[in-house]
A and B are shown apart, each in its own frame.
Chain A
Amino acid sequence: MAAIVRLSAVCRRGVKPLFYQTTLLARPLVIPHKHQEQPYMLTARIHASQALYAASGSKAASLHWTAERMLSILLLAMGPVAYFNPSPVIDYSLAAALTLHGHWGIGQVVTDYVHGDAKIKMANAGLFLLSTVTFAGLCYFNYNDVGICKAIGLLWSK
């Protein structure tokens, strides 16, 4: 009997996931006397969030979250580089990183305050347009004018 319990608990997912189970909809079971020392295995069997997984399998939102943080860290690193090593490369990288960071940031603001499918679509379309124009403008500035790093330098040497 102990063998049945073990096998059915570890099959399909292996042993490791047992230790990371969430028990969102877990219910206390009549725990057989012999297996009281292994409560984690029984709650593993009532692992309800697997169904939530099955309902919407997209990791898009969580990947977006991670990408936002990665970009933030990248932007932080660009600061000192721009100060010590100004160059066209860093100018264009800064243009891209700043625009994207701002685009995703305002995107979160839209998500927080705009409700209703049509309004959300409109707001995001407007934001996309704004971000595109912003990036175009910054690239134009980098190409036809002094560039971002030089511009800040000139502003401060006033």
Chain B
Amino acid sequence: MALLLRTLARQGVSVTRPQYSVLYRHAAPMGTTAKEEMNKFWSKNARLNRPMSPHLTIYKWSVPMMMSVTHRGTGVGLSGAISAFALAALVLPGNYPYYLDLIHSLSIGPFLIGLAKFGITFPVSYHTYNGIRHLWWDIGKGFKIPEVYRTGYTVIGLSIITSIALAAI
């Protein structure tokens, strides 16, 4: 009875005041932040010249893995394209219709023009549809493996259809 009261009373004290040392009699206190731990880990790796585990070269490629890489790739690519466009707008003389007419005058065949349009529409479509899939995950849905594959194939299918349709207009 006395032991019980002591145990309960002690825990009652620990909850109301930040004397957490009492709570950690059996557990390791985590006094560092995640960032500190990560930095310590990386500097130790660098210091000991540890080789990096092979990853891309040995793991079997899977559809979700490739889709994730593609999402990142299209994102970086699109971002780079937008930045390049903005830089060109600042640096190049002449305005947009001027350069459009310039491309016109090169008389590139309709197939190549279509291909170029596809080169724009596919990254935009894929990144958009897969972005929606990411937001779906962010609200906690669709994590079961069959669902991951199902939504994945849907994204791929929709991307191809949308980008071909848009490039053909």
- Is B a genuine binding partner of A? yes
A residues near B (Cβ < 8 Å) are 1, 4-5, 7-9, 11-12, 25, 27, 29-30, 32, 44-48, 50-52, 54-56, 69, 72-73, 76, 79, 98-99, 102, 105-106, 109, 115-117, 130, 133-138, 140-141, 144-146, 151, 154-156, 158
Q: Mark B19-61, 1 if CB is under 8 A from A, else 0.
A: 0100110111111110000010011001000000000000000
With a cutoff of 8 Å between Cβ atoms, the chain B residues found around residue A156 in the complex are: 117, 169
In the complex with contacts A5-B8, A51-B29, A154-B96, A69-B135 CB distance below 8 A: yes
Q: Is the CB of A115 within 8 A of B42?
A: yes
In the complex with contacts A55-B30, A145-B89, A106-B79 CB distance below 8 A: yes
Q: Is the CB of B86 within 8 A of A48?
A: no
* Complex alpha-carbon distance, A78 and B85, angstroms: 20
* Complex alpha-carbon distance, A40 and B124, angstroms: 49
With a cutoff of 8 Å between Cβ atoms, the chain B residues found around residue A102 in the complex are: 75, 78-79, 82-83
* Complex alpha-carbon distance, A117 and B26, angstroms: 35
CB of B11 within 8 Å of the partner chain: yes
Q: Is the CB of B82 within 8 A of A98?
A: yes
CB of B97 within 8 Å of the partner chain: yes
Count CB-based A-B contacts (< 8 Å).
Answer: 134
**The one of A115, A130, A140 that contacts B89, using a Cβ cutoff of 8 Å:** A140
With a cutoff of 8 Å between Cβ atoms, the chain B residues found around residue A54 in the complex are: 18, 20
**The one of B39, B117, B135 that contacts A73, using a Cβ cutoff of 8 Å:** B135
Please classify the interface of chain B as helix (H, G, I), strand (E, B), loop, or mixed, using the class held by over half of its residues: helix
* Complex alpha-carbon distance, A1 and B15, angstroms: 17
Please classify the interface of chain A as helix (H, G, I), strand (E, B), loop, or mixed, using the class held by over half of its residues: helix
Q: Is the CB of A109 within 8 A of B15?
A: no
CB of B87 within 8 Å of the partner chain: yes
Q: Is the CB of B79 within 8 A of A9?
A: no
Q: Name 26 A/B residue pairs within 8 A (Cβ), A-sorted.
A: A4-B9, A8-B9, A8-B11, A8-B15, A9-B15, A11-B15, A25-B28, A27-B26, A51-B23, A55-B32, A69-B135, A102-B82, A105-B75, A105-B76, A109-B76, A116-B43, A130-B83, A134-B87, A136-B86, A136-B90, A137-B89, A141-B85, A141-B89, A141-B96, A146-B97, A154-B97
CB of B64 within 8 Å of the partner chain: no
Interface hub of A48, A135, A140, A154 (most chain B Cβ within 10 A): A48
